[in-house]
Amino acid sequence: MSHEPLRNDAGLLDAYLTNLETRPTPMTVPGHKRLAGLLDDGLGIVVDRDIQLYGGLDTVKLTNDTLGHAERRMAEYYGADWCRFSVGGSTHANQALCLALGQPGDTIIVNRSLHRSMLIGFVLAGLNPVWLPTEIDDASGLPMGVSLESVTAAINAHPDAVAVALVEPGYLGTTSEVKAIIDLVHAHGLRVVVDQAWGAHFGLHPDLPAHAMALGADALVTSVHKLLVGYTQASILVANTDVLDVDRLERGFEATSTTSPAGSILASIDGSRALVEQRGEELMEHTLGLVRRARQRLGEDVPGIGLPDEHSVPGGRFDPTRFIIQLPQIGADGVQIEKQLMNDGISFELVDRDTLLAMVTIADTQESVDTLLDALIPALHAGRGEPRRLPAALSWRVSPTTATSPREAFFAPHERVSADQAVGRVSAELIAPYPPGVPVLAPGEVITKVLLDGLREAAADGVRIAYAADPTLATFEVVAKER
Ligand SMILES: Cc1ncc(COP(=O)(O)O)c(C=O)c1O
């Protein structure tokens, strides 16, 4: 079937392609002359499609308002009145949002399973988090977001909070009861913002969860480069300015943005919007079919394997495209399976000993999914072992003891001590097994023996311990004792 070229409905994509099709002579920086190939073929391949926004997709003075127009189209798509395109990922969008929410010293109520980018946003903005614990489904070991009860308790205990921030869906595709929580928070007169980095496809098909703006959120962040076809780092921040202050949003966004945005990233965001407006439901129907068939084949060929889906997860609170493969039931080791499959050029989004997460998306085909399963099924048979119980990963089990705000600890004098000496001390650093990049230790939190053992166990299971000053976990950066 032929489709209308997306550039006809996406001004930034059209501007990008038009620039490529012409031979402008920009007397500006060498990387924008599209002549790097004269210096080296390889460098040319990387650089000669790099078209900047200023003087590339638009005039240097932005007289055509191409970006503004595309951002307004996106805001409209989300039923919102404000949107900015970010070339710094949802990391930037989250941090810009944090800068728009309150004053230094204000309280924000937030999932403990937030991404590190938002936590660093609190450091920048001086917001003090009150944590909502992650609910865990005992049957599947999956994190299920946060409960209505915990949100109610947090609001009652902190009525002065400036907002509630949610992460929906979580990394494994599960969600809280998002609509009920948003309604509850609004009933208390507070604002709700949602990090929906992994939900750019939400709302595109009746079998998918609705996106957070449709459920009443006041702002949403999503990574277009995750579940749509954005260039790496493509992300958006969307908001309703009858609730959030537009000047603060603009200032927070600009303060943390590059002044030289890459046109390829911006064009891919606009093109992705046009793509899903034109064919969103059809593409998701295709994706859902691929995942459902993959689960069926894997379940039949590898009896006993864990394959959570929207029917098994409590309340159906699950992104049905998320192809999660749980291994404890068949005693296989995810890290070993990953090593084997890497030899065939196959990689996963998330791997730990107990879980493989394969992203099956609108850019997959039956052939790509078959390639995965043809390699995976024999590896699973060969890797079968003694069944284990289904534990929840450390990232979802953290119950922190807070000594100071993240910002105070971040800027405090610190020192490096051995792991044993670190127990009982206040962390100056953020540590997160990656993926999912959820901090299990944040600046300002007390390092406990339970946490240290959990981190060591994750490392021994082959999980990368990210952002730690010493990833071997032999030493930790702690807040220095007052002398
Ligand atoms: C929930 C969540 N928020 C934000 C981010 C940051 O996104 P980006 O990589 O686009 O900066 C991630 C990245 O994995 C994430 O999982």
CA of 480 to the centre of ligand 1 (A): 31
CA of 303 to the centre of ligand 1 (A): 34
* 91 Cβ inside 6 Å of ligand 1: yes
CA separation for the pair 320, 282 (Å, rounded): 15
* 113 Cβ inside 6 Å of ligand 1: no
* 404 Cβ inside 6 Å of ligand 1: no
* 95 Cβ inside 6 Å of ligand 1: no
CA separation for the pair 250, 75 (Å, rounded): 14
CA separation for the pair 309, 292 (Å, rounded): 9
* 405 Cβ inside 6 Å of ligand 1: no
Nearest ligand 1 atom to the CA of 170 is: 1
CA separation for the pair 13, 16 (Å, rounded): 5
Q: Are strands 475-479 and 414-418 parallel, antiparallel or unpaired?
A: antiparallel
CA of 166 to the centre of ligand 1 (A): 13
* Residue 59, C-beta contacts closer than 8 angstroms, at least 6 positions apart: none
CA separation for the pair 92, 441 (Å, rounded): 21
* 169 Cβ inside 6 Å of ligand 1: no
* CA 286-289-295 angle, 5° bins: 145
pLDDT in tens, 394-423: 888 888 999 999 999 999 999 999 999 999
pLDDT in tens, 108-133: 999 998 998 999 999 999 999 999 99
Predicted confidence at residue 460, as pLDDT, reads 87
List every span in the chain annotated with CATH 3.40.640.10: 66-262
CA of 101 to the centre of ligand 1 (A): 19
Of residues 157, 158, 160, 179, the one with CA closest to residue 168: 179
Rounded to two decimals, the pTM is 0.95
* 235 Cβ inside 6 Å of ligand 1: yes
- Residue 50 main-chain phi, psi, to 5 deg: -85, 110
- Residue 457 main-chain phi, psi, to 5 deg: -65, -45
- Residue 55 main-chain phi, psi, to 5 deg: 85, 10
Amino acid identity, position 356: L
CA separation for the pair 276, 227 (Å, rounded): 11
Predicted confidence at residue 202, as pLDDT, reads 98
Residue whose CB lies within 8 A of the most ligand 1 atoms, among 97, 110, 114, 117, for a mutation test? 117
Using CA atoms of 170, 448, 471, 125 in order, give the dihedral in degrees to the nearest 10: 60
- CATH 3.40.640.10 fits domain 66-262: yes
- Residue 53 main-chain phi, psi, to 5 deg: -70, -55
- DSSP H/E element including 288: helix 263-301
Q: Whose CA is nearest to atom 9 of ligand 1?
A: 89
* 223 Cβ inside 6 Å of ligand 1: yes
Whether 439 contacts 430, CB under 8 Å: yes
* 195 Cβ inside 6 Å of ligand 1: yes
With b for 16 or more beta-carbon neighbours within 10 A and e for fewer, the 421-453 pattern comes to ebbebbbbbbbbbebbbbbbbbbbbbbbeebbe
Q: What are the helix (H) ranges across 171-262?
A: 178-187, 224-227, 246-255
CA of 181 to the centre of ligand 1 (A): 22
Predicted confidence at residue 483, as pLDDT, reads 60
Angle (deg, nearest 10), helices 334-342 and 366-383:
130
Percent of the chain with pLDDT over 70: 100
List every span in the chain annotated with CATH 3.90.1150.10: 280-383
pLDDT of the chain along its 483 residues, tens only?
Answer: 689 999 999 999 999 999 999 988 999 999 999 999 999 999 999 999 999 999 999 999 999 999 999 999 999 999 999 999 999 999 999 999 999 999 999 999 999 989 989 999 999 999 999 999 999 998 888 999 999 999 999 999 999 999 999 999 999 999 999 999 999 999 999 999 999 999 999 999 999 999 999 999 999 999 999 999 999 999 999 999 999 999 999 999 999 999 999 999 999 999 999 999 999 999 999 999 999 999 999 999 999 999 999 999 999 999 999 999 999 999 999 999 999 999 999 999 999 889 999 999 999 999 999 999 999 999 999 999 999 988 777 888 888 999 999 999 999 999 999 999 999 999 999 898 887 778 899 999 999 999 999 999 888 888 889 889 999 999 999 999 876
CA of 90 to the centre of ligand 1 (A): 5
Q: Which fold has domain 394-479?
A: Ornithine Decarboxylase; Chain A, domain 4 (3.90.100)
CA of 438 to the centre of ligand 1 (A): 10
CA of 437 to the centre of ligand 1 (A): 8
Whether 200 contacts 226, CB under 8 Å: yes
* 168 Cβ inside 6 Å of ligand 1: no
Q: Which fold has domain 280-383?
A: Aspartate Aminotransferase, domain 1 (3.90.1150)
Q: Whose CA is nearest to atom 7 of ligand 1?
A: 90
Nearest ligand 1 atom to the CA of 225 is: 10
User: Tokens at residue 5, please?
Assistant: 């070229």
CA of 225 to the centre of ligand 1 (A): 10
CA of 388 to the centre of ligand 1 (A): 31
Predicted confidence at residue 482, as pLDDT, reads 75
Whether 108 contacts 130, CB under 8 Å: yes
* CA 452-454-459 angle, 5° bins: 95
* CA 388-393-398 angle, 5° bins: 135
